Amino acid sequence: MIRNSERKKVIHCNLMSVFLAAAYNPKAAVVFHAPKSCSHIAYNAFWEMRRKIENQKNLKTEHDCSNLFVTGLADKEAIFGGEKILKECLLDVVAEQKPEYIIVAAGCAAGVIGDDVAAICQEAEQTTGVPVLYVEGSGFMNQKAVDGVLSITKAICQRFVYPLLKRLKILQV
């Protein structure tokens, strides 16, 4: 029998909630720094939830998930690191999609291989001028659950809303 002290905490993938937080914002691009299979989990969950909502409410919304991207970490990156393909992916997304901002979530594989995702995001932002927001996504590899919606809301507020409010208060004085 397993004692309570030996039970593992139930943990979940955080990538789906990260994508769902920005799925309907056409101005945002979401990049998973993870294997392709991780993006399929979020993509399929999004479509399943959408189908249920549309069926219940007889809605037909226009959205094709064209703002979800994945670096596609593979065996080579697991050995040598995936920072290079993350940077290339971010540059390609900016060139092709021209988003107002990018949200990057690193999956478990990126955490295991030790990619410095935050540094790559900062470098890509400096290169392109497009804001790149990094949120934690590796749910199976850390013991804390990350609420993707809350994480993205906080990141957007800290990055865009609070500075705007600060400027407006200065202008009103």
pTM: 0.80
Please report where in the chains the tokens 């920005």 appear, as a residue: 22
Q: Which residues contact 27 (CB under 8 A, 6 or more apart)?
A: 99, 100, 101
The whole-angstrom separation of Cα 45 and Cα 48 is: 5
Q: Which has the higher per-residue pLDDT, 135 or 173?
A: 135
Please report where in the chains the tokens 């809301």 appear, as a residue: 153
The whole-angstrom separation of Cα 162 and Cα 157 is: 6
Q: Chain-wide mean pLDDT for the chain?
A: 81
Q: How far is CA 16 from each of CA 7, 99, 105, 114, rounded to the nearest angstrom?
A: 25, 20, 10, 22
pLDDT of residue 136: 77
Per-residue model confidence as pLDDT tens digits over 76-95: 888 888 999 999 999 999 99
Tell me the range of 9-23, 34-48, 138-152 where mean pLDDT is highest.
Answer: 34-48
Instruction: Identify whether the C-beta of residue 103 lies closer than 8 Å to the C-beta of residue 152.
Output: yes
Instruction: Identify whether the C-beta of residue 105 lies closer than 8 Å to the C-beta of residue 29.
Output: no
Closest C-alpha among 135, 77, 140, 143 to residue 105: 135
pLDDT of residue 1: 47
Stretch (H or E) spanning 69: strand 68-70
Q: What percent of the chain has pLDDT over 90?
A: 29
Instruction: Identify whether the C-beta of residue 23 lies closer than 8 Å to the C-beta of residue 67.
Output: yes
For residue 49, give both structure tokens: 């939830």
